Amino acid sequence: MKDKYNLQSKENLTIPEVYDIIAESFDYKRSQPWKEVMQFIEQFPSSSRILDLGCGSARHTKFMLEKNYNVIGLDVSFRILQVANEKRLSLLKNKLTSLVNGDATNLPFKTNSFDNIIMIAVFHHFKSLDDRIAILREIKRILSKGGSCLITTWSKSHPRFEKEDLCEIVRSGKKDILVPWTLPNGRKVSRYYYLFEKEELEELVLTAGFKIESSEDSKRNIFLTIRNG
C-alpha cells in the first residue's frame, strides 16, 4: 500500500493513513456538498446507480441518498467511512446505505455496475501515472455504456497555493507537492497532491477511451465530465 500511494512526508504516511488520522477534522471542515456536484447528479433519474468514488465522510453520498438515488460510497480510508456512518449518515438509517472500503485502482464491482460516477478531489492524490491509468480503466470497466463521470482535481490557481508555505513551490512549476492539514491540536499532517494542467487531464482521459463532455478550470478546481463511449 505504501508504494501505491507513495506519500513522501516526514512521517512517511500513506494517503489511507492520512485520512484515517484526519477523518473527524475533515468531516467537520468539509461538511457541505458542492453545488457543481449537485447539479451534475440532479440531471439523472432517481433510479440511477451512482458510485461516489473516494466518498470521504460522505457529504455527497448523503445528498444522493436524500434524493433517493441508488448510491454506493467507496473510500480507501476505513476510519473516514466509520465517521461517515456514525455522523453524516446516522439520520438515514431508514434508507439502504452502502459504504465500501476499497482501492480505486482495483474496484470491487462487476463490469457495468454503475450508470454514473463522481470522483471528487481524489485523482490528484495518486502520484504514479500507472495508477492514474489504472483508475480510469476501472472507471471505464464498471461504468455502463453511455454513462458519465465527473472528475475534479485542485487547480494550480487554487487560493491555497497563494499562501506562503506553498506559493514559491507552485510558482516554480513543481507538480508533486505536499499540502499540510492542521488538526485541532496543532499537528500538521501532509497530503500528497499532483497539480494537473487541464489539458494534461483531458489528454489522459481521452487516451483511456472516454469522450469529454465538458471541461472547466474554475480557478479553484478543474471540473471534467467524461462519457463512456
Q: Give the pLDDT confidence of 79-133 residue by residue, as tens digits.
A: 999 999 888 787 776 565 689 999 999 999 999 999 999 999 999 999 999 999 9
What is the number of alpha carbons within 13 Å of residue 49 lying toward its C-beta? 13
pLDDT, residue 164, reads: 86
The total number of residues shown for the chain amounts to 229
Radius of gyration for the alpha carbons in the chain, expressed in angstroms and rounded:
17
Geometric angle at alpha carbon 185, from 99 and 119, rounded to 5°: 30
pLDDT interval class at 11 (50, 70, 90):
low
Residue 181 is part of a domain; what is its CATH number?
3.40.50.150
User: Is the distance from CB of 210 to CB of 141 less than 8 angstroms?
Assistant: no
Mean of pLDDT values over 65-79: 94
pLDDT interval class at 188 (50, 70, 90):
very high
Q: What is the 3-state secondary structure (H, E, C) of the chain?
A: CHHHHCCCCCCCCCHHHHHHHHHHHHHHHCCCCCHHHHHHHCCCCCCCEEEEECCCCCHHHHHHHHCCCEEEEEECCHHHHHHHHHHHCHHHCCCCCCEEECECCECCCCCCCEEEEEEECCHHHCCCHHHHHHHHHHHHHHEEEEEEEEEEEECCCCHHHHCCCCHHHHHCCCCEEEEEEECCCCCEEEEEEECCCHHHHHHHHHHCCCEEEEEEECCCEEEEEEECC
Burial 71-109 (b: 16+ CB within 10 A, else e): bbbbbbbebbbbbbbebbbeeeeeeebebbebbbbebeb
User: Is the distance from CB of 48 to CB of 55 less than 8 angstroms?
Assistant: no
| pLDDT-wise least confident of 51-55, 159-163, 208-212, 214-218 | 159-163
47 lies in which domain range? 2-227
Residue type present at position 117? I
Count: domains in the chain: 1
Alpha-carbon distance 80 to 27, whole Å?
8
Alpha-carbon distance 29 to 55, whole Å?
15
User: pTM of the predicted model, to two decimals?
Assistant: 0.92
Mean of pLDDT values over 44-48: 93
Mean of pLDDT values over 37-44: 97
The pLDDT of residue 202 is above 60: yes
Which residue in 73, 76, 100, 82 sits closest to 24, CA to CA? 82
